[in-house]
Structure 1
Amino acid sequence: MKPVKTSVLAATCTVLALSLTACGGGGGGAAAAPKSSNGETTVKIMVGGLEKQIYLPVMLAQNLGYFKAQGINAQLSNEPAGVDAETAMIAGQVDAVVGFYDHNIDLQSKHKSTQSVVQLLQAPGEVEMVRTDLAGSVKSPADFKGRHLGVTGLGSSTNFLTQYLEQANGVTAGQATSVAVGAGPSFVAAMQNKQIDAGMTTEPTISLLQKQGLAKPLIDMRTAQGAKAALGGTYPASCLYFTTGYVQKNPEVVQKLVNAFVRTLKWIQGHSAAEIADKMPSDYYKGVGKAAYTKALENEKGMYSPDGLMPADGAQTVLKVLSSFDPTVKGHTVDLSKTYTNSFVQKAK
């Protein structure tokens, strides 16, 4: 399945008058999951960058055969920015998204009901990289004033985190410019061509930037400790989420997917970075090399959730971060209990 263009999705939702039910945001718009001739249930899952290590559990589950073992035909598609994957799901183009949990809070504030069913990361896995020639003058987010800052997409989780770092360090709205540059090669090119002064990205792009001498780490959120230092608490990131309507109509399908992911998370805990890297497609470490890819994975392996549960202070930390700058969340009532559930993970355990 090819990535769905954002412009097409926007047009789709416009034609449907942005109806919550029509766009799959409520209980009435979701359909029962279809079964193929061999009895497998087909689920279309869009990922905000399959090759990123923050989303590694998706391809790992596929390659380990854990989806198949649950009777699931997981049709995976790729979209570099999580915000576009979210749009695809709301428009009914895909059934589920693997992206950052924060989108569920943002969407509820926009009167769209979605729900995270299993947490894959307990830290963002993101690093704010500053261009090497500017490393001496950009020493903290307080120096972002007047700078162009790379994010995967406007409205993406990297954009959310960047805006929070600005606000928390005295940089007011409009004093810095977010630039959508995607991830991987396009992010590297933006840094190389000096389109951006700094930017937020993940592995293996981080290692590639360092290998080429293009940028240096400024703020490192690849570990739970690093995330707490930057964001003030545990920041759950990658998760599997659906519209609430899909969850309500297809609980057995959701349970099977969660079973597969919980099993995958346990497999990660019991294997080395080298063993995990061996399960990844070779093009995932193209450019950076398998050795550097494996080393990066070894350094940030602790970001993966050990059990798939929402951390006790996780949802509240994310709400605090979004409430500090996001006008759709700030000052609005958000029912966190409706943005995630641990029930499927608890049954899987």
Structure 2
Amino acid sequence: MRSALRGRTFVVGLITALSVAACGGSDTGSAAAPAGEKGLEKTKIVIGALPIPDSAGIHIAKAKGFFQAEGLDVQINPLKSSADAVPALNGGSTDVILGNYFAMINVSAAKVGEYRFIADAFQAKPNVFDLVVPKDSPITDIKGLKGKKIAVPAKNSIGELASGNALRTAGLDREKDVEFIPTAFPEMWGAMTTGKADAAWLTEPFLTQVQQQYGAKVLTDTMTGAMADFPIAGWTVTKKFADANPKTVAAFQRAYAKAQQLAATDRKEIEKILPTYTKIPPAVISTITLGDFPTTLSAQRIQRVADLMLEYGYLKEKFDVTPMLVPMPQQ
């Protein structure tokens, strides 16, 4: 099965679908520095986080008191779906969201709004995002998907991009040879068993769960070739917020960087924090495959998303992500 972890009532396309779970964790550890001493423009910030492994760093930072030590009073609100994220950010009820790079670049290029990435959250690794079929399916390889229906979290999403990338390696065309069916991750297994979909693009924890419980077959890992080690999501604010609160953003970045370093180097930290804000069963937590938790914010890395979106026709012209990044402060 798998040896490592993105538990997803899932993240996948900020105009996508996920689901459920609780949020938790309390600040412990370092004593808070008075906000006045740090000159923070805003001390209370609300974070919208999907209850998935991608969000581990933010919960570690709160639980260990890293935000508190920077003078920040952080409230983490669980989002029911990624479709709720951008409206919450634009409406002002939320200051920071877990933003899927594909979706945020898509809306930025369309000039729907101006956004800034302030920290990287999650990056793909082998076997974290796979195409699967039921164990009794006659489909035995990806070429067998020609003329079939594939469940993805949303149309024009990273799920569609990744599936299309895998299909192309098999000589298939995502627009001509398959039909993508928008389906929430928790509903994908049901969609396959009822005939609404023939295959599904799944990530953790659903990926491990359908294999353990139902014997689902993996057709292929979609994060290979052009999408190997692909950037998935980062912490996002509006340009207006970033411009008005530079010291607050820097404080967030410093606190988060400490937590992300733990997530990147110690799996046990992730396994310990996941039960506090997700409903992933303990037996699954210990076996799911984890992606990477980047500790830097790299324009070169995130540019890969925009460039591949252009190559596949999701963007009409080249889009430079550099202006969207707020450089991380020196620790």
Q: Aligning the two structures, in what range does the TM-score lie when normalised by the shorter sequence?
A: 0.7 to 0.9
Q: Which runs of 5+ in 1 are unaligned?
A: 1-8, 10-38, 222-226
Query: CA separation in 1, counterparts of 2:156 and 2:268?
Result: 34
RMSD: 2.9
Q: Percent identity?
A: 18
The correspondence of residues 113-132 of structure 1 with structure 2, limited to 5 A, is: 113-123=114-124, 125-132=128-135
1:133 to 133, 136, 141: 136
The offset of 1:322, in angstroms, is 0.8
Distance 2:322 2:53 in 1: 28
Q: Which of 265, 269, 293 is the aligned partner of 2:260?
A: 265
- 1:194-213 alignment to 2 at 5 Å? 194-213=195-214
Q: What is residue 155 of structure 2 aligned with on the other side? A: 154
Corresponding residue SS for 1:120: strand
Q: Is the 8 A contact 1:144 1:171 kept in 2?
A: no
1:278: how far off?
A: 2.0
Q: Does the aligned pair in 1 maintain the 2:154–2:181 contact within 8 Å?
A: yes
- Residues 1-349 of structure 1: pairs in structure 2 closer than 5 A: 41-47=43-49, 49-50=50-51, 52-111=52-111, 112-123=113-124, 125-134=128-137, 136-140=138-142, 142-166=143-167, 169-173=171-175, 175-183=177-185, 185-220=186-221, 227=223, 229-232=224-227, 234-271=229-266, 273-281=267-275, 284-286=278-280, 289-296=281-288, 299-300=289-290, 303-305=292-294, 307-310=295-298, 312=300, 314-327=301-314, 329-330=315-316, 332-341=317-326, 343-344=327-328, 347-349=329-331
TM-score (norm 1): 0.72
1:221-268 Cα offsets, whole Å, 9 max, x none, are 6xxxxx3x2435542112101122211111111112211221111112
Q: CA deviation at 1:42?
A: 2.3
Shift of 1:114: 1.3
Pair 1:215–1:275, CA change in 2 (3 A): same
Amino acid at match of 1:291: A
Q: Which residue of 1 aligns with 2:31?
A: none
Aligned length: 288
Q: Which structure would you say has the larger RCO, counting Cα contacts within 8 Å and 6 or more residues apart?
A: 2
What residue number does 2:36 align with?
A: none
Query: In the alignment, what sits opposite 1:30?
Result: none
Gaps of 5+ in 2: 1-14, 16-40
Q: Deviations over 1:82-107 (max 9, x none)?
A: 34423432344422211322223212
Alpha-carbon displacement from aligned partner over 1:4-37 (angstroms, at most 9, x marks no partner): xxxxx9xxxxxxxxxxxxxxxxxxxxxxxxxxxx
